[in-house]
Amino acid sequence: MKMFSSNLKQLLEFTSGVETTYKAGKSLDQRLTGRFYTHARIGKAMAMDIAKRLGASEKLKIIDPFCGDGRLLCWLIEAMYAQGKIPSNYLQIAAWDCDQSAVDAAQKAISQKINNLNISVAHVDVQVVDSFECALNHLEYFDICVTNPPWETIKPDSRELMELEQEAKDSYVSLLREKVFLLERAYPHSKPLRKFSGWGANLARCGIEASVRLVAPRGCFAIVAPATIFGDQVSAPLRSWLFSQNTVDAIHHYPAEARLFEGVDQSAVYFVGNRDREGQKKIALDVIQHLEKEQKDSSPVLKLSLSSLEENHYAIGFGSSPEIAKAISYLSDLPKLGDYEVGANPLFKIGRELDETGIISKLSDTGSYRFIKGRQISRYSQVTGDAIFLKGSIRPPQSSDLHRLVWRDVARQSSARRVIATIIPPGVVTGNSLNVLVPREKSDALLFALLGIFNSVIFEAQVRASISTNHLSAGAIRRIRVPPLSSGMHVDRVSKLVEQQLLNPSESCLAQIDVEVARWYGLPDDVYLDLLTMLEKHSPRDVPEIKKAMALGRQTPKVDVMRIENHYAATLSELDLRICHSVPPGGNWKDIPEDIPSERIKNIRISFAKGEGSRSTYYGRLHPDRPSYTINTYFTRPGNGCHIHYDYSGKQHRTLSHREAARLQSFPDNFVFKGNKGAITTQIGNAVPPLLAFQVARHLNLVGQAVDLFAGAGGLGLGFKWAGWQTVVGNELEASFSETYRTNVHPDIVVGDITERSVKERILKQVEAVRIKGLPLCVLGGPPCQGFSTAGNKRSMEDERNWLFRDYCGLLAALKPDVFVFENVTGLLNMQGGRVFEMVKDELSKHAKRLMVWKLHSENYAIPQRRSRVIIIGDNTGRVPEAPPQMISTLSASDLVSDLPKPPSVKDALDDLPALLPGQDGGDLGYRHESITPYQALMRGEITAEQYLSKVTR
């Protein structure tokens, strides 16, 4: 890589002293090297941050590979000294830069700092080098790297080369191409995702990669960079490498208004992390939002899920907030806008129309096609400004003959609204400053509805959270999640309001559109109201009208349709849709044609052919006349069980909705699950069927008060509530599960881990305050299922999740209940040859005079699902029968003596629910017909659990 320094030397010879007429006051050599010296506000904070992370050491090697005048190293040394972090034996301080005058200044400043602090163990190594070349010879050498790499994109600009002769220009461009080649070969992760006219190498990206690679395993880095690195599309490969191969702990964001870098009008960040080689990854990233002026109070910290960030190549918009992050968590199962641009039936195409290069020569005062720019539109507006036209000799794009949705490309983060969109008529052509969405088929309703989505608070919030540049490119917008466009009801509602707003604009109509879009997104009212804090900061005038529209919506009587909560079907990929179409009722993966290109199905077939076995439920479709298989936590995916809707003739080619899965678990329709869709899926899949719990509770021969541990969504608790038990307190670790429990079962629930003393104390205190002397006390609950589940092979005592029952036992000892109900999956019975189960029984027997073990199958208890559970009853009263509750239904054809009826079928349970398309929310569609089976009547609250059992028991 010796060519690096030679190339840089030749470039600097060409550019030395050449002033540009573009970006006045900055010479070409300054542009080439990207000099932006770090402001004390950001540099000192970063130095303190990295020093805090250091422990006591004997030897330490630190570097700034782009040192400038050495200020970052001086601040770091100062911070280390103040915190007592100077190593005892040896401190190597390396400083590199390509600028001789900067290096001289760094040498002087660092030496002076060391002398002033009397640091005798320091050894200073300052060099004039091409840092990009030198870094390759010192990979993984240093313990700490603090730096501010250069901030320039390498590309020629005619406005910058006007002072050069043509021969010099050609040579300069040739050398630039050589530099780009060298950088991309040496730093492959920094290569842009795409190039523009062959250019795109960025010194900041390359500098970040070089700086991180200088750090040894478990070493630390702290780097200043333009904020756009963490939000633009072209930096996606670098971000993916940075987060997947290293650990980034925190990013500190400083807005452009802070003016921390002279001549630079953009926001900046510094980020800290370490070279992680052992996979000890964090699950969340701390983003610290600094204000324009430093505040006395600590800056707000936003915790972002790394798994969610990974989905969008770790793009961060730095416009987020706790309220925005919470709202976005509810959208994770929704499709992205770009999903509707591909597939067998794409709805639209997104892009740009006319390149504005040399645009003046293409325009005229008269013509047939009007030309417009971004500044000529506003939200829901007609085109404004002076009319100019394309010359007749210029062929307009085909899209210019259609109505289109357009939005401004330029979108500053400080703007009241970053998304400015409207609809333009045929006969108008747009330039680069507008992006365009062109419908594939003429559908004014869909186009109007999309405009309502684009201009909504929820769309705006996603943009602020994920796009840090001042541009809303087509690629970035494709990543924004939208509500299911297949919902004809919502398309109709929103489109009518948008059409009204385009014809007769009003603040009240704007607010109604936003509220209706929020309902289409499925965002709970409280989460949506919290989201309005974003508008209060950027566009406060809009908030009162939106709140008024929400209030009016609540007051409007809706006597025609009863809402069915959680009746939402997951979106499916094009491949999954083809699979669903190919599987008949009762069928599975064997029915899928071999020409469907699925690697997973191919592997299933190979495994089956080898005789290694393959579950018959993979890619299964429910049979209308049979109960379902076990509802697990993957029921929104077709490949992880038998989850495809039974109604083939009705063209319901989709997976079960949340409400349908909840019904098969025997949760009634008025039981509303809280949280985002992923959390709701888990709540339903992990629950104990309430109807099974009811029959267990009824069989205990006593009624009293209950403490509900590991409560989940409340399946056990609800069943006991139906049987007359009074809940004293519940406990659950997950916040969304707790909210579901609080809403449906009992308001008093302690959220937290029972392994923590404070959580146990809160539970015991609540029981002491509410317990009624003389009433029996029952403790419900079983530890989480994951460790015991037969779905995996890691069933051993090494899994700490399997031993949460010890904490359960600790509370049994403290509470001394009359009876306890310990529930778990049947995998518990044969873990490690049954040894684990014997240990569990030994522990539980210490807290009960009698111990009964029941293995119950829900299909034997009039529930439309095949599901097995182990119930261990600890009895101190002598009143609980030894035998389990009596079976009242069966799937066994050999059970001729008792002549038990079959359990309800899937159709018996679900037939009255409205039909759905993939991705559709059917909450407002209403029931298809009156309840026609006892199970439907139970689910709709028309009869009680006791009445239901009397109807189905022979």
Q: Which residues are catalytic?
A: 785
Q: Around Cβ 17, how many Cβ atoms within 10 Å?
A: 8
Residues 268/254, Cβ–Cβ less than 8 Å? yes
Residues 858/689, Cβ–Cβ less than 8 Å? yes
Structure tokens at 450: 């999309």
CA–CA separation, 755 and 901 (whole Å): 45
CA–CA separation, 238 and 232 (whole Å): 11
Residues 159/22, Cβ–Cβ less than 8 Å? yes
Q: Which amino acid is at 762?
A: R
Q: Which amino acid is at 50?
A: I
Q: Where are the beta strands (DSSP E) in 53-166?
A: 59-64, 90-97, 122-128, 142-147
Sheet containing 726-732, strands listed edge to edge, beginning at the edge strand earlier in sequence: 749-751, 726-732, 705-708, 777-780, 819-824, 868-875, 850-857
CA–CA separation, 604 and 364 (whole Å): 64
CA–CA separation, 839 and 794 (whole Å): 18
Residues 270/45, Cβ–Cβ less than 8 Å? yes
Q: Which amino acid is at 953?
A: T
Residues 371/390, Cβ–Cβ less than 8 Å? yes
Q: Which residues contact 893 (CB under 8 A, 6 or more apart)?
A: none
Burial class (CB in 10 A: 0-12, 13-18, 19+), 221: buried
Angle of helix 507-521 relative to helix 444-454, nearest 10 degrees, comes to 90
User: Can you say how many angstroms the Cα of residue 279 is from the centroid of all Cα atoms in its chain?
Assistant: 21
Q: Please, what is the end-to-end C-alpha distance for the chain in angstroms?
A: 86
CA–CA separation, 462 and 25 (whole Å): 38
Structure tokens at 428: 């108008």
Q: Around Cβ 173, how many Cβ atoms within 10 Å?
A: 14
Among candidate residues 672, 661, 669, 671, the one with its CA nearest the CA of residue 634: 661
Q: Where are the beta strands (DSSP E) in 719-816?
A: 726-732, 749-751, 777-780
Burial class (CB in 10 A: 0-12, 13-18, 19+), 16: exposed
Q: Around Cβ 836, how many Cβ atoms within 10 Å?
A: 21
Q: Around Cβ 717, how many Cβ atoms within 10 Å?
A: 27
Among candidate residues 461, 462, 457, the one with its CA nearest the CA of residue 478: 462
CA–CA separation, 663 and 649 (whole Å): 22
Three-class secondary structure of residue 777 per DSSP: strand
Q: Which residues of 487-501 are buried (b: 16+ CB within 10 A; e: fewer)?
A: beebbebbbbbbbeb
CA–CA separation, 663 and 689 (whole Å): 9
Secondary element (H or E) of residue 493:
helix 488-503
List alpha helices for 704-745, DSSP H.
Answer: 715-722, 735-744
Q: Around Cβ 354, how many Cβ atoms within 10 Å?
A: 20
Among candidate residues 636, 682, 676, the one with its CA nearest the CA of residue 657: 636
Among candidate residues 333, 739, 325, the one with its CA nearest the CA of residue 533: 325
The DSSP line for 565-615 is TT-BPPP--HHHHHHHHHPPTT--GGGS-TTS--HHHHHHHHHHHTTS---
